[in-house]
Structures are given as C-alpha cells and as structure tokens.
Amino acid sequence: MPKTLRYTLLSLREMLLSAGPFAVLTIALLCFTYWWLKPNPPERVVLATGPAQSAYDEFGKRYAEALARNGITVELLASEGSSANLELLRTGQADLGFVQGGTADIGYDDEDAITSLGSLFVEPLWLFYREDSARRLHKSPTVGKLSDLKGWRVNVGTPGSGVPRLFSTLLDVNRLKASEMTLSELEQTPATVAFLNGELDAVVFASAPESLMVQMLLQTPGVKLLDFAQSEAYSRRFGYLTPVVMPQGVVDLAANIPPRNVRLVASTTSLLAHSDTHPAILQLFAQTATTLHGGASWFSRAREYPSLEHSEVPISPEAQRAIKGGPQPFLQRYLPFWLANLIERMWLAMGLIIALALPLSRIVPPLYTFRIRKRVFRWYAELRDIEQRQENQSDSAQALLEQLDAMESKVEKVVVPLSYTDELYALRNNIHLVRKKLQRKAA
C-alpha cells in the first residue's frame, strides 16, 4: 500500500474514532426527536361523510381527490349524517367528519376529545312540499309557516342525520306536537321517491345547495320550498341558526328559479377531527378547506368561509394558521409535502440539537490530536523505565540495550500522519540518546 494512502487512511480512521461518539449522540437525539414528534403523517385517514348523493358525500370525494395529490389516502365512511359522524369520531372509527351545528349533542367531554377545523359552509333547512298537498290540506297553494303543517305526512330524515332533532326543536317553538303530524324517518333517496310519488306531503333536508337532491327538487314542477318568513326570529332564539336568503333566479337565471327571494334558516357545518389525528393531516385538510369552500356560493361571499366562528368545540391551531395565514406555507411551495412538513415540525428540535452539538464538537480536534500523539508518547514510558533502571543499575547494560533495540524495532513500524512525523523522529532521537548512555556504561 502506498505510504500516502496509508497515512490518509490512518488520519480518516482516527478522525472517525474521535468524532464517532458525537455523531452517534447527534443521530440518537434526532431519532428520539423523530419518534417523539412523529412528524410524518399516516398514509390513510378516515373521513365520515353522509348518505350517498348528499353534499357531505360530494365534498368528501373532493377532499379525497385533493389529498391524494400529497400521497394521503382518504377513506370515505358513509353515514346517516351529523349525529352519526359525531359518534364515529367519539368512538375513534373516523379521524374526521362533517358535523352540522345544532343537529348533534356536543358536550363538555367533546371539547377535549374533538377539535374543529372551522365552519365550512352554511346548510339551510330545506322544507319542500307538494303544491297539490298544500291545496288539499291547507286550502292554499302556498304554506307560510311550520304551524300550517298540522296533519301533513312529513319525512324528517334518519336519526343519525340530526335533522329530526333540529326539526323537533322548531316544531316545539311553533307549539306543534309531533303527534299532530305523520312523521317518517326515511333516507334521502327513498324519501324523495316517495315524495315525488305523492306518498309524502313534505320532506325536510339540512344540506348544502350542492346536494343533488336539493338541486333536483328546486327545479321540479309542482314542488315548492317553504319561505321561512320568521328566519330572523329563529336565529335570535337559537344561536346555532342564522338567517339566509336564496336570491331570486340563483338556481336558474333563464327560468327565473326561484321566482322571488326565499328566506331560510341555516346552520353552519364544521369539519371536526379527533384530537389524536396527526397535526399534518389537520393542516392538509384545513388548507384544502380554504380552496374548496373559499369561493362565492348561494349563501356566502368569496373568502367568507372557512370561518373560525360558530364553532361548538375548540379550533385546532392548524386550522387557525391555515385560515388566517392565507397563501400556502413557503416551504410547501417548493418542496414535496412530506419534506416540507418534516422540516416545519423538526426545525426547532434540530436547531436545539445542533446548538448542543456545536460546543461538544470542539472537543473533536483535541481528541484527534491526542489519539495521534498517543501512538508516539506511549513509548516514552518504556524509554523512561529503561533509563531509570540504567541509573539504578538494577539490570545489566547489555540486557537494557537488547530491550532498547526491541523497542526501537517496534517504533520503526509506528505510522502517523505526515503533520506529526516530527514527534515520531523526536522519539527516535531520544532512543538514540539513551542508547549512547547505555553504551558508555557498558564500556
């Protein structure tokens, strides 16, 4: 092996042995921090949506498509609606879910177990009724208030949707008992079929206007939408309700549907998440929400939603940053999501580790020097022992010379980097001086 290569390999070996413990310590701290912080999100999350063809179902598909671009698989879990979604979150069967305000019982225990990503959109309470039923039961083609529905066959939706609970509350304040009506709890699709076939007089939905059922019924001849003339009063009585107006012609400008402004009461739908859901997932969903729900709609202006208002549980910090922060985070504009997320969640810990490692790294150069010089200096102990034994005359000069020759032959095999050869030659010179003293003694 060439001497130059030999010297280089020796220098590298000693450098690795000197810096190795600090490198191992730094890597161990980074691994511990990674395990503690868990910066990378899971690749699969469960989103509780709603019945098929509902607005929740449609929005769930959009979220799944958006998050798939970042390598996250969103499994859509169909349910009956808000109340069912809240129960799925409580039991841990879903990571996130759409929940409408006022349609589910949210208690104090939920404030610790569930967090909100903000209010996404308003969901009016749609009460569609048949015009012929109004003529037959109310003696008028139009219905003006809920108390006019006495004796009607009304479908209020499945219990898991939360609509029966909300509608029951509205009936109570109108002094209308459920026993004075024929109430059914069919799902949206079979209820709509029964309604169109004349088996029901009215159907009640709580859904965003994107719902296919709502879109279809709004344009069906012979079907009318109840105008909540007391919408402002409802909002004053119930904090989770807000009055909204569906403008004239917003459904179809050419056909002028609806023919006049329609007043409705609505509650806001929030995207809730289990408190154990990974922060990066919450961040992605919150960012996606600003894109999907930030435009203008029938009942809101552009950038009015998502909103931090109307929340029945605490807002997550990720949602607050996403909704207030505006544009996409700086690192995510130029790096893949997983890498940007890793840096964002690890930078503080990495900075602390580097701040700790830098002072410790100053020990590496002196340690390296010590390891190299030790290859030379350890022979001085034996050389000093030979010299002392010569002065004490405890051994013969000839025996000491033989021991010195053996030591010198071993020193000749010692290899040090070129920058430390002066110390190796100094050792050899000292050996030569001791030999001269022994030779004079022997003579």
For the full predicted model, state whether its pTM sits above 0.75. no
Q: Which helix (H) or strand (E) is 103 found in, with range?
A: none
User: Per-residue confidence at 40, pLDDT binned at 50, 70, 90?
Assistant: low
Other C-beta atoms closer than 10 Å to the C-beta of 338 total: 16
Helix axes 364-392, 421-442, angle to 10 degrees: 0
Model pLDDT, residue 162: 75
Structure-model confidence comparison of residues 194 and 421, the more confident one: 194
- Can you give the residue ranges of every domain in the chain? 98-326, 363-442
Model pLDDT, residue 388: 82
d(CA 87, CA 110): 10
- 269 has a pLDDT exceeding 80: yes
In this prediction, what percent of the chain has a pLDDT beyond 70? 81
- 19 has a pLDDT exceeding 90: no
Q: Which is it for the CA torsion 228, 229, 232, 233, positive or negative?
A: negative
- 418 has a pLDDT exceeding 80: no
Model pLDDT, residue 204: 93
What are the residues whose beta carbons fall under 8 Å from the beta carbon of 393, sequence distance 6 or more? none
The stretch 266-288 carries a mean pLDDT of: 87
Least confident of 15-29, 271-285, 292-306, 365-379: 15-29
- 184 has a pLDDT exceeding 80: yes
- 340 has a pLDDT exceeding 80: no
Structure-model confidence comparison of residues 239 and 159, the more confident one: 159
The stretch 148-161 carries a mean pLDDT of: 88
- 194 has a pLDDT exceeding 90: yes
- 3 has a pLDDT exceeding 90: no
Model pLDDT, residue 439: 79
Three-state secondary structure call for residue 60: helix
The stretch 226-237 carries a mean pLDDT of: 90
What are the residues whose beta carbons fall under 8 Å from the beta carbon of 380, sequence distance 6 or more? 427, 430
Distance of CA 97 to the CA centre of its chain: 14
- 1 has a pLDDT exceeding 60: no
CATH class of 98-326: alpha beta
Using one digit for the tens of pLDDT, what is the confidence trace for 96-119?
999 887 665 666 566 678 899 988
- Exposure on the CB side of residue 47, measured as CA atoms within 13 A: 24
Using one digit for the tens of pLDDT, what is the confidence trace for 350-398?
666 666 667 766 777 777 777 777 877 888 888 888 778 877 776 777 7
Average pLDDT score, the chain: 81
Structure-model confidence comparison of residues 333 and 58, the more confident one: 58
Residues present in the chain in total: 443
Least confident of 3-7, 124-128, 215-219, 420-424: 3-7
User: Per-residue confidence at 159, pLDDT binned at 50, 70, 90?
Assistant: confident
Least confident of 12-21, 284-293, 382-391: 12-21
**Vertex 298: Cα angle to 294 and 299 (nearest 5):** 75
User: Per-residue confidence at 300, pLDDT binned at 50, 70, 90?
Assistant: confident
In this prediction, what percent of the chain has a pLDDT beyond 90? 21
The stretch 330-337 carries a mean pLDDT of: 63
For residue 205, give both structure tokens. 């939905």
Least confident of 15-19, 207-211, 264-268: 15-19
Using one digit for the tens of pLDDT, what is the confidence trace for 61-82?
999 999 998 888 999 999 988 8
- 347 has a pLDDT exceeding 90: no
Model pLDDT, residue 407: 83
Cβ proximity of 130 and 222 under 8 Å: yes
Model pLDDT, residue 225: 93
Residue 415, CA distances (Å) to 80, 172, 300, 408 in order: 79, 97, 80, 13
- 18 has a pLDDT exceeding 80: no
Structure-model confidence comparison of residues 294 and 419, the more confident one: 294
